[in-house]
Amino acid sequence: MTLSLPDGLIVVAKADCPTCRLVEPLLTELDQAGALTVLVQDSDDYAAALPGTQYDQTLEQSFRLGIEFVPTLIRVEQGKEVERTYGWHKADWQALSGVATLGEDLPVMRPGCGSKTLDPGIAEELELAFGDVRLQSREIDIAGADDAMETCYERGWTDGLPVVPPTPVRVLRMLKGTDRAGDEVLGLMPPDLVPCTVEKVAVNAVMAGCKPEYMPVLLAAVEAALTDEFGLHGLTCTTMFGSPMIVVNGPITKAIGMNSGVNALGQGNRANATIGRALQLIVRNVGGGRPGEIDRATMGTPGKYSFCFAEAEDADWLPLAQERGVDSGRSAVTLFPGEGVQGIVDQKSRDPESLAKSFAMSLRTVDHAKLAMAGDAVLVVSPEHARVFIEAGWSKQRLREELEQLLLAPGKDLIAGAGGIAEGIPAKFKDQQVPKFRPGGLLIVRVGGTAGLFSAIIAGWAASGPVGSSPVTCEVKL
Protein backbone atom coordinates (compact mmCIF):
# COMPACT_ATOMS: atom_id res chain seq x y z
CA MET A 1 0.00 0.00 0.00
CA THR A 2 1.38 3.42 -0.99
CA LEU A 3 0.86 6.35 1.37
CA SER A 4 -1.01 9.24 -0.25
CA LEU A 5 0.92 12.43 0.50
CA PRO A 6 -0.78 15.82 0.71
CA ASP A 7 0.99 18.65 -1.08
CA GLY A 8 2.73 21.16 1.15
CA LEU A 9 4.77 20.54 4.28
CA ILE A 10 4.74 17.54 6.61
CA VAL A 11 6.26 17.66 10.08
CA VAL A 12 6.70 14.43 12.02
CA ALA A 13 7.28 14.92 15.74
CA LYS A 14 7.14 13.42 19.24
CA ALA A 15 5.82 15.27 22.26
CA ASP A 16 8.60 13.94 24.49
CA CYS A 17 11.37 15.15 22.15
CA PRO A 18 12.94 18.42 23.40
CA THR A 19 13.75 19.56 19.87
CA CYS A 20 10.17 18.87 18.75
CA ARG A 21 8.98 21.04 21.63
CA LEU A 22 11.48 23.68 20.56
CA VAL A 23 9.98 23.92 17.07
CA GLU A 24 6.32 23.52 18.14
CA PRO A 25 5.69 27.31 18.26
CA LEU A 26 6.93 27.57 14.66
CA LEU A 27 4.25 25.24 13.34
CA THR A 28 1.57 27.94 13.48
CA GLU A 29 3.73 30.13 11.26
CA LEU A 30 4.27 27.27 8.83
CA ASP A 31 0.53 26.55 8.78
CA GLN A 32 -0.19 30.18 7.91
CA ALA A 33 2.40 30.07 5.10
CA GLY A 34 0.74 27.11 3.34
CA ALA A 35 -0.66 23.63 3.70
CA LEU A 36 0.79 21.84 6.74
CA THR A 37 0.30 18.32 8.06
CA VAL A 38 1.68 17.46 11.49
CA LEU A 39 2.05 13.78 12.40
CA VAL A 40 2.56 13.20 16.12
CA GLN A 41 3.88 9.80 17.16
CA ASP A 42 3.14 9.77 20.88
CA SER A 43 0.45 12.28 21.84
CA ASP A 44 -2.77 13.94 20.73
CA ASP A 45 -1.88 17.14 22.63
CA TYR A 46 1.14 18.25 20.59
CA ALA A 47 0.18 21.05 18.16
CA ALA A 48 -3.43 20.13 18.84
CA ALA A 49 -4.75 23.58 17.84
CA LEU A 50 -3.62 23.19 14.24
CA PRO A 51 -6.21 21.78 11.82
CA GLY A 52 -3.66 19.57 10.04
CA THR A 53 -2.40 17.76 13.15
CA GLN A 54 -2.92 13.99 13.28
CA TYR A 55 -2.09 11.53 16.03
CA ASP A 56 -0.17 8.78 14.24
CA GLN A 57 -1.03 6.29 16.95
CA THR A 58 -0.43 3.16 14.85
CA LEU A 59 2.77 4.70 13.42
CA GLU A 60 1.70 3.52 9.97
CA GLN A 61 2.24 6.92 8.37
CA SER A 62 5.63 7.38 10.05
CA PHE A 63 6.65 3.88 8.92
CA ARG A 64 5.57 4.47 5.33
CA LEU A 65 7.42 7.80 5.30
CA GLY A 66 10.58 6.04 6.49
CA ILE A 67 11.01 8.35 9.49
CA GLU A 68 14.20 7.70 11.47
CA PHE A 69 14.48 10.94 13.44
CA VAL A 70 12.13 13.57 14.82
CA PRO A 71 11.41 16.28 14.08
CA THR A 72 11.47 15.59 10.35
CA LEU A 73 10.33 18.28 7.89
CA ILE A 74 9.24 17.10 4.43
CA ARG A 75 8.14 19.07 1.36
CA VAL A 76 5.64 17.36 -0.97
CA GLU A 77 4.81 18.52 -4.49
CA GLN A 78 2.24 16.82 -6.74
CA GLY A 79 1.92 13.99 -4.25
CA LYS A 80 5.63 13.20 -4.17
CA GLU A 81 8.31 14.01 -1.63
CA VAL A 82 10.90 16.36 -3.06
CA GLU A 83 13.02 17.21 -0.01
CA ARG A 84 13.39 16.52 3.71
CA THR A 85 15.48 17.52 6.70
CA TYR A 86 15.54 16.31 10.28
CA GLY A 87 16.45 17.75 13.63
CA TRP A 88 16.49 21.55 13.84
CA HIS A 89 18.83 23.23 11.42
CA LYS A 90 17.67 26.84 11.04
CA ALA A 91 18.96 27.39 7.51
CA ASP A 92 17.57 24.08 6.25
CA TRP A 93 14.10 24.68 7.72
CA GLN A 94 14.03 28.22 6.32
CA ALA A 95 15.06 27.07 2.85
CA LEU A 96 12.78 24.02 2.72
CA SER A 97 9.73 25.86 4.09
CA GLY A 98 10.29 29.03 2.09
CA VAL A 99 9.85 31.12 5.26
CA ALA A 100 13.07 33.15 5.35
CA THR A 101 12.62 34.41 8.91
CA LEU A 102 11.52 31.10 10.44
CA GLY A 103 12.91 30.56 13.95
CA GLU A 104 15.15 33.62 13.94
CA ASP A 105 15.24 33.63 17.76
CA LEU A 106 16.06 29.91 18.05
CA PRO A 107 19.54 28.36 18.20
CA VAL A 108 21.22 27.61 14.89
CA MET A 109 21.05 23.85 15.42
CA ARG A 110 19.65 21.26 17.80
CA PRO A 111 19.79 17.48 17.22
CA GLY A 112 16.53 15.59 17.19
CA CYS A 113 15.51 12.27 18.74
CA GLY A 114 15.05 8.77 17.38
CA SER A 115 11.72 8.05 15.76
CA LYS A 116 9.31 5.91 17.77
CA THR A 117 9.23 3.57 14.77
CA LEU A 118 12.75 2.50 15.71
CA ASP A 119 11.98 1.62 19.33
CA PRO A 120 13.00 -1.95 20.29
CA GLY A 121 10.52 -4.42 18.84
CA ILE A 122 8.44 -1.69 17.18
CA ALA A 123 10.29 -1.69 13.85
CA GLU A 124 9.61 -5.40 13.30
CA GLU A 125 5.95 -5.06 14.33
CA LEU A 126 5.47 -2.23 11.86
CA GLU A 127 7.20 -4.16 9.09
CA LEU A 128 4.94 -7.14 9.71
CA ALA A 129 1.83 -4.94 9.86
CA PHE A 130 2.48 -2.47 7.05
CA GLY A 131 5.53 -3.68 5.11
CA ASP A 132 6.06 -6.15 2.31
CA VAL A 133 7.28 -8.95 4.60
CA ARG A 134 4.95 -11.93 4.85
CA LEU A 135 6.08 -14.84 7.01
CA GLN A 136 5.05 -18.20 5.59
CA SER A 137 5.09 -20.19 8.82
CA ARG A 138 1.75 -21.00 10.40
CA GLU A 139 1.07 -18.86 13.46
CA ILE A 140 -0.27 -20.63 16.55
CA ASP A 141 -2.66 -18.69 18.76
CA ILE A 142 -2.09 -19.25 22.47
CA ALA A 143 -4.72 -18.31 25.01
CA GLY A 144 -3.72 -15.43 27.24
CA ALA A 145 -3.75 -17.63 30.34
CA ASP A 146 -1.46 -20.23 28.77
CA ASP A 147 2.31 -20.25 29.12
CA ALA A 148 4.05 -20.06 25.74
CA MET A 149 7.03 -22.14 26.92
CA GLU A 150 4.74 -24.86 28.28
CA THR A 151 2.90 -24.88 24.96
CA CYS A 152 6.21 -25.56 23.19
CA TYR A 153 6.78 -28.54 25.51
CA GLU A 154 3.25 -29.85 24.98
CA ARG A 155 3.58 -29.67 21.20
CA GLY A 156 6.91 -31.52 21.21
CA TRP A 157 8.98 -28.63 19.85
CA THR A 158 11.71 -28.74 22.48
CA ASP A 159 14.76 -30.88 23.14
CA GLY A 160 13.81 -31.16 26.80
CA LEU A 161 15.12 -27.70 27.70
CA PRO A 162 13.12 -24.45 27.58
CA VAL A 163 12.96 -22.70 24.22
CA VAL A 164 12.34 -19.08 23.28
CA PRO A 165 8.80 -18.77 21.87
CA PRO A 166 9.21 -17.89 18.16
CA THR A 167 6.93 -14.86 17.84
CA PRO A 168 6.63 -13.21 14.40
CA VAL A 169 8.65 -10.21 15.64
CA ARG A 170 11.49 -12.45 16.87
CA VAL A 171 11.49 -14.46 13.64
CA LEU A 172 11.61 -11.32 11.51
CA ARG A 173 14.45 -9.96 13.64
CA MET A 174 16.33 -13.26 13.15
CA LEU A 175 15.84 -13.02 9.38
CA LYS A 176 17.61 -9.65 9.47
CA GLY A 177 20.80 -11.62 10.14
CA THR A 178 20.95 -12.78 6.51
CA ASP A 179 20.37 -11.26 3.08
CA ARG A 180 18.78 -14.50 1.90
CA ALA A 181 15.03 -14.54 1.26
CA GLY A 182 12.90 -16.19 3.91
CA ASP A 183 11.13 -18.36 1.34
CA GLU A 184 14.39 -19.71 -0.16
CA VAL A 185 14.33 -23.51 0.06
CA LEU A 186 17.65 -24.93 1.24
CA GLY A 187 16.64 -28.52 0.53
CA LEU A 188 14.52 -31.35 1.87
CA MET A 189 15.08 -31.98 5.57
CA PRO A 190 15.16 -35.67 6.47
CA PRO A 191 13.79 -37.91 7.69
CA ASP A 192 10.37 -36.57 6.61
CA LEU A 193 11.89 -34.78 3.57
CA VAL A 194 10.08 -31.53 4.35
CA PRO A 195 11.21 -28.38 2.46
CA CYS A 196 13.50 -26.46 4.77
CA THR A 197 13.32 -22.71 4.12
CA VAL A 198 15.48 -19.92 5.48
CA GLU A 199 12.42 -18.84 7.50
CA LYS A 200 12.11 -22.28 9.11
CA VAL A 201 15.78 -22.04 10.05
CA ALA A 202 15.09 -18.62 11.60
CA VAL A 203 12.13 -19.99 13.60
CA ASN A 204 14.30 -22.68 15.17
CA ALA A 205 17.20 -20.26 15.63
CA VAL A 206 14.88 -18.12 17.76
CA MET A 207 13.84 -21.16 19.78
CA ALA A 208 17.46 -22.13 20.36
CA GLY A 209 18.40 -18.65 21.60
CA CYS A 210 20.56 -17.54 18.64
CA LYS A 211 21.41 -13.97 17.78
CA PRO A 212 20.61 -12.81 14.22
CA GLU A 213 24.31 -12.54 13.40
CA TYR A 214 24.63 -16.32 13.86
CA MET A 215 22.33 -17.00 10.89
CA PRO A 216 25.04 -17.26 8.17
CA VAL A 217 26.88 -19.96 10.14
CA LEU A 218 23.66 -21.85 10.91
CA LEU A 219 22.53 -21.70 7.28
CA ALA A 220 25.88 -23.11 6.14
CA ALA A 221 25.54 -25.93 8.68
CA VAL A 222 22.03 -26.73 7.43
CA GLU A 223 23.22 -26.75 3.82
CA ALA A 224 26.02 -29.15 4.76
CA ALA A 225 23.54 -31.37 6.60
CA LEU A 226 21.28 -31.58 3.55
CA THR A 227 23.97 -32.92 1.20
CA ASP A 228 23.82 -36.54 0.12
CA GLU A 229 27.41 -37.01 1.32
CA PHE A 230 26.52 -36.19 4.90
CA GLY A 231 23.67 -38.70 5.00
CA LEU A 232 21.59 -37.00 7.70
CA HIS A 233 18.71 -39.45 7.32
CA GLY A 234 20.85 -42.42 8.27
CA LEU A 235 22.62 -40.53 11.04
CA THR A 236 19.28 -39.54 12.56
CA CYS A 237 17.85 -43.03 12.36
CA THR A 238 20.87 -45.02 13.53
CA THR A 239 20.88 -46.92 16.81
CA MET A 240 24.45 -45.71 17.33
CA PHE A 241 25.66 -42.58 19.13
CA GLY A 242 26.31 -40.04 16.39
CA SER A 243 24.76 -36.67 15.64
CA PRO A 244 25.83 -33.60 13.60
CA MET A 245 28.85 -31.79 15.03
CA ILE A 246 29.79 -28.34 13.68
CA VAL A 247 33.37 -27.08 13.40
CA VAL A 248 33.63 -23.42 12.33
CA ASN A 249 36.64 -21.71 10.75
CA GLY A 250 37.45 -18.23 9.55
CA PRO A 251 36.91 -14.58 10.49
CA ILE A 252 33.26 -15.08 11.38
CA THR A 253 34.20 -17.05 14.50
CA LYS A 254 35.63 -13.91 16.10
CA ALA A 255 32.95 -11.64 14.62
CA ILE A 256 30.17 -13.52 16.43
CA GLY A 257 32.21 -14.40 19.53
CA MET A 258 32.59 -18.16 19.18
CA ASN A 259 34.75 -20.10 21.62
CA SER A 260 37.79 -22.02 20.36
CA GLY A 261 39.70 -21.90 23.62
CA VAL A 262 39.07 -22.83 27.25
CA ASN A 263 36.14 -25.27 27.52
CA ALA A 264 35.35 -24.91 23.80
CA LEU A 265 33.73 -28.35 23.74
CA GLY A 266 31.67 -27.50 26.83
CA GLN A 267 29.08 -25.02 27.96
CA GLY A 268 29.14 -21.28 28.52
CA ASN A 269 29.41 -19.71 25.06
CA ARG A 270 26.17 -18.52 23.51
CA ALA A 271 27.22 -18.80 19.87
CA ASN A 272 28.62 -22.32 20.24
CA ALA A 273 25.67 -23.54 22.27
CA THR A 274 22.81 -22.03 20.29
CA ILE A 275 24.09 -22.65 16.75
CA GLY A 276 24.57 -26.33 17.54
CA ARG A 277 21.22 -26.48 19.33
CA ALA A 278 19.40 -24.75 16.47
CA LEU A 279 20.58 -27.38 13.99
CA GLN A 280 19.33 -30.13 16.29
CA LEU A 281 15.95 -28.40 16.67
CA ILE A 282 15.67 -28.07 12.88
CA VAL A 283 16.24 -31.81 12.50
CA ARG A 284 13.52 -32.38 15.12
CA ASN A 285 10.93 -29.75 14.20
CA VAL A 286 11.31 -29.52 10.42
CA GLY A 287 12.50 -33.01 9.56
CA GLY A 288 10.64 -34.95 12.26
CA GLY A 289 13.78 -36.52 13.78
CA ARG A 290 12.39 -37.07 17.27
CA PRO A 291 13.86 -39.61 19.71
CA GLY A 292 11.74 -42.67 20.29
CA GLU A 293 10.21 -42.23 16.85
CA ILE A 294 12.56 -42.10 13.84
CA ASP A 295 15.57 -41.36 16.06
CA ARG A 296 16.35 -44.86 17.34
CA ALA A 297 19.64 -44.26 19.16
CA THR A 298 20.23 -46.96 21.75
CA MET A 299 21.91 -44.53 24.14
CA GLY A 300 22.28 -41.25 22.28
CA THR A 301 24.84 -38.61 23.18
CA PRO A 302 24.82 -35.22 24.91
CA GLY A 303 25.89 -33.86 21.51
CA LYS A 304 22.25 -34.22 20.45
CA TYR A 305 21.53 -31.11 22.48
CA SER A 306 24.31 -29.14 20.82
CA PHE A 307 27.78 -29.82 19.45
CA CYS A 308 29.46 -26.80 17.89
CA PHE A 309 32.80 -25.06 18.34
CA ALA A 310 35.40 -23.00 16.49
CA GLU A 311 38.91 -24.12 15.63
CA ALA A 312 41.73 -22.24 17.37
CA GLU A 313 43.49 -21.25 14.19
CA ASP A 314 47.27 -20.88 14.22
CA ALA A 315 49.57 -19.62 11.50
CA ASP A 316 51.75 -22.71 11.91
CA TRP A 317 48.93 -25.22 11.34
CA LEU A 318 46.58 -25.09 8.36
CA PRO A 319 42.97 -24.63 9.53
CA LEU A 320 40.55 -27.46 8.81
CA ALA A 321 38.51 -25.45 6.28
CA GLN A 322 41.61 -24.62 4.24
CA GLU A 323 42.70 -28.27 4.36
CA ARG A 324 39.31 -29.04 2.82
CA GLY A 325 39.61 -26.52 -0.02
CA VAL A 326 38.26 -23.23 1.36
CA ASP A 327 40.35 -20.16 0.51
CA SER A 328 42.29 -18.41 3.25
CA GLY A 329 40.35 -15.54 4.80
CA ARG A 330 36.99 -17.17 4.09
CA SER A 331 34.68 -18.64 6.72
CA ALA A 332 33.27 -22.15 6.58
CA VAL A 333 31.65 -24.87 8.62
CA THR A 334 32.57 -28.53 8.55
CA LEU A 335 29.82 -30.91 9.59
CA PHE A 336 30.95 -34.20 11.09
CA PRO A 337 28.88 -37.17 12.32
CA GLY A 338 30.31 -37.01 15.83
CA GLU A 339 29.87 -39.16 18.89
CA GLY A 340 31.18 -38.31 22.36
CA VAL A 341 34.49 -36.84 23.55
CA GLN A 342 37.20 -39.32 24.56
CA GLY A 343 40.06 -37.67 26.42
CA ILE A 344 43.75 -38.30 25.75
CA VAL A 345 45.97 -37.62 28.76
CA ASP A 346 49.69 -37.50 27.95
CA GLN A 347 51.58 -35.11 30.22
CA LYS A 348 55.03 -36.61 29.70
CA SER A 349 55.68 -36.72 25.95
CA ARG A 350 57.95 -33.84 24.94
CA ASP A 351 58.89 -34.98 21.44
CA PRO A 352 56.55 -35.44 18.47
CA GLU A 353 57.38 -39.12 17.95
CA SER A 354 56.32 -40.08 21.48
CA LEU A 355 53.18 -37.95 21.40
CA ALA A 356 52.15 -39.29 17.99
CA LYS A 357 52.43 -42.84 19.34
CA SER A 358 50.22 -41.85 22.30
CA PHE A 359 47.64 -40.43 19.94
CA ALA A 360 47.74 -43.54 17.74
CA MET A 361 47.30 -45.88 20.70
CA SER A 362 44.24 -43.92 21.81
CA LEU A 363 42.81 -43.72 18.29
CA ARG A 364 42.87 -47.50 18.00
CA THR A 365 39.94 -47.68 20.40
CA VAL A 366 37.54 -45.74 18.14
CA ASP A 367 34.42 -47.93 17.78
CA HIS A 368 36.41 -50.93 18.99
CA ALA A 369 40.11 -51.78 18.99
CA LYS A 370 39.43 -54.60 16.50
CA LEU A 371 37.33 -52.58 14.08
CA ALA A 372 38.92 -50.76 11.14
CA MET A 373 37.86 -48.68 8.11
CA ALA A 374 34.41 -48.14 9.62
CA GLY A 375 34.07 -44.90 11.56
CA ASP A 376 35.91 -41.66 10.95
CA ALA A 377 37.40 -39.58 13.77
CA VAL A 378 38.37 -36.04 14.67
CA LEU A 379 41.59 -35.69 16.64
CA VAL A 380 41.23 -32.55 18.77
CA VAL A 381 44.74 -31.34 19.63
CA SER A 382 45.14 -28.86 22.47
CA PRO A 383 47.48 -25.87 22.01
CA GLU A 384 50.07 -27.34 24.43
CA HIS A 385 50.17 -30.65 22.58
CA ALA A 386 50.15 -28.82 19.24
CA ARG A 387 53.18 -26.85 20.40
CA VAL A 388 55.16 -30.09 20.71
CA PHE A 389 54.61 -30.75 17.01
CA ILE A 390 54.90 -27.15 15.81
CA GLU A 391 58.24 -26.56 17.57
CA ALA A 392 59.57 -29.71 15.94
CA GLY A 393 58.44 -28.46 12.52
CA TRP A 394 55.57 -30.93 12.12
CA SER A 395 52.59 -29.72 10.10
CA LYS A 396 49.10 -31.19 10.49
CA GLN A 397 49.74 -33.21 7.35
CA ARG A 398 53.01 -34.58 8.75
CA LEU A 399 51.19 -35.64 11.94
CA ARG A 400 48.40 -37.25 9.94
CA GLU A 401 50.85 -39.21 7.78
CA GLU A 402 52.70 -40.40 10.88
CA LEU A 403 49.45 -41.50 12.50
CA GLU A 404 48.35 -43.36 9.39
CA GLN A 405 51.55 -45.41 9.53
CA LEU A 406 51.27 -46.01 13.26
CA LEU A 407 47.65 -47.10 12.90
CA LEU A 408 48.41 -49.89 10.42
CA ALA A 409 47.82 -53.23 12.12
CA PRO A 410 48.16 -56.89 11.16
CA GLY A 411 44.81 -58.15 9.95
CA LYS A 412 45.29 -61.44 11.83
CA ASP A 413 45.01 -59.52 15.11
CA LEU A 414 41.81 -57.75 14.07
CA ILE A 415 39.72 -60.46 12.45
CA ALA A 416 36.62 -61.76 14.18
CA GLY A 417 37.55 -64.32 16.81
CA ALA A 418 41.18 -63.20 17.20
CA GLY A 419 42.18 -62.93 20.84
CA GLY A 420 39.07 -64.80 21.84
CA ILE A 421 36.89 -61.80 20.94
CA ALA A 422 34.01 -62.42 18.55
CA GLU A 423 34.00 -58.81 17.32
CA GLY A 424 36.38 -57.98 14.49
CA ILE A 425 36.84 -57.47 10.77
CA PRO A 426 36.23 -60.16 8.11
CA ALA A 427 38.74 -63.00 7.81
CA LYS A 428 39.70 -61.95 4.27
CA PHE A 429 41.94 -59.25 5.83
CA LYS A 430 44.01 -61.67 7.94
CA ASP A 431 47.10 -61.46 5.73
CA GLN A 432 47.00 -57.68 5.20
CA GLN A 433 48.22 -54.59 7.00
CA VAL A 434 44.94 -52.84 7.78
CA PRO A 435 44.56 -49.06 8.26
CA LYS A 436 42.38 -47.92 11.14
CA PHE A 437 40.60 -45.28 9.09
CA ARG A 438 39.56 -45.05 5.47
CA PRO A 439 41.47 -42.48 3.33
CA GLY A 440 40.54 -39.01 4.52
CA GLY A 441 38.73 -40.39 7.54
CA LEU A 442 40.94 -38.74 10.16
CA LEU A 443 40.48 -34.99 10.68
CA ILE A 444 42.72 -32.90 12.93
CA VAL A 445 41.70 -29.63 14.59
CA ARG A 446 43.43 -27.41 17.13
CA VAL A 447 41.09 -26.46 19.99
CA GLY A 448 41.24 -25.64 23.69
CA GLY A 449 42.88 -23.57 26.40
CA THR A 450 46.60 -22.92 26.46
CA ALA A 451 47.13 -24.75 29.77
CA GLY A 452 46.85 -28.52 29.98
CA LEU A 453 48.56 -31.38 28.14
CA PHE A 454 45.25 -32.94 27.13
CA SER A 455 43.78 -33.71 23.73
CA ALA A 456 40.67 -35.60 22.66
CA ILE A 457 39.11 -37.92 20.12
CA ILE A 458 35.62 -37.48 18.71
CA ALA A 459 34.64 -40.70 16.98
CA GLY A 460 32.53 -40.65 13.84
CA TRP A 461 29.47 -42.70 13.01
CA ALA A 462 30.58 -46.25 12.26
CA ALA A 463 28.55 -46.27 9.06
CA SER A 464 30.53 -43.35 7.67
CA GLY A 465 31.67 -43.67 4.09
CA PRO A 466 29.98 -44.07 0.71
CA VAL A 467 26.88 -45.73 2.19
CA GLY A 468 26.74 -43.69 5.36
CA SER A 469 27.94 -40.24 6.39
CA SER A 470 31.03 -38.29 5.40
CA PRO A 471 32.30 -34.95 6.71
CA VAL A 472 31.06 -32.04 4.60
CA THR A 473 32.47 -28.50 4.44
CA CYS A 474 30.36 -25.53 3.30
CA GLU A 475 31.49 -21.94 2.95
CA VAL A 476 29.60 -19.35 4.99
CA LYS A 477 27.66 -16.90 2.81
CA LEU A 478 27.46 -13.53 4.55
Kindly report, residue by residue over 306-349, the tens digit of the pLDDT: 999 999 998 899 999 999 999 999 999 999 999 999 999 999 99
* Model confidence, pTM: 0.89
Strand residues in 274-321 grouped as ranges (E): 308-310
Instruction: Name the DSSP letter for residue 471.
Output: -
Task: Give strand ranges (E) for 238-298.
Answer: 243-249
User: What is the tens place of the pLDDT at every residue in 418-449?
Assistant: 999 999 999 999 999 999 998 889 999 999 99
Distance from C-alpha of 412 to C-alpha of 433, rounded to nearest angstrom: 9
Full set of structural domains in the chain with CATH:
8-130 (3.40.30.10), 150-475 (no CATH)
Q: How many CB atoms lie within 10 A of CB 143?
A: 7
Per-residue pLDDT at 463:
65
In terms of Cβ atoms closer than 10 Å to its own Cβ (0-12, 13-18, 19+), residue 227 is: middle
Residue 137: the pLDDT is 87
Straight-line distance from the first to the last Cα atom of the chain, in angstroms, rounded to the nearest whole number: 31
| Neighbour-count burial for 228-266, b at 16+ CB within 10 Å, e otherwise | eebbbbbbbbbebbbbbbbbbbbebbeebebbbeeebbe
Residue 371 DSSP code: -
| pLDDT on residue 45 | 95
Return the pLDDT at 304. 93
H or E segment and range at residue 119: none
pLDDT at 464: 54
- C-alpha span between 263 and 309 (Å, rounded): 10
Tens of pLDDT along the chain (478 residues) come to 556 789 999 999 999 999 999 999 999 999 998 899 999 999 999 999 999 999 999 999 999 999 999 999 999 999 999 999 999 999 999 999 999 999 999 999 999 999 999 998 899 999 999 988 888 888 887 766 678 889 889 899 999 999 999 999 999 999 999 999 999 999 999 999 999 999 999 999 999 999 999 999 999 999 999 999 999 999 999 889 999 999 999 999 999 999 999 999 999 999 999 999 999 999 999 999 999 899 889 999 999 999 999 999 988 999 999 999 999 999 999 999 999 999 999 999 999 999 999 999 999 999 999 999 888 999 999 999 999 999 999 999 999 999 999 999 999 999 999 999 999 999 999 999 999 998 889 999 999 999 999 999 999 987 655 557 889 999 999 8
pLDDT at 315: 87
The predicted pLDDT at position 328 comes to 95
Task: Give me the pLDDT at residue 467, please.
Answer: 56
pLDDT recorded at residue 34: 87
What pLDDT shows up at residue 134? 83
User: Phi-psi bin for 32: left (phi > 0), alpha (psi -120 to 50), beta?
Assistant: alpha
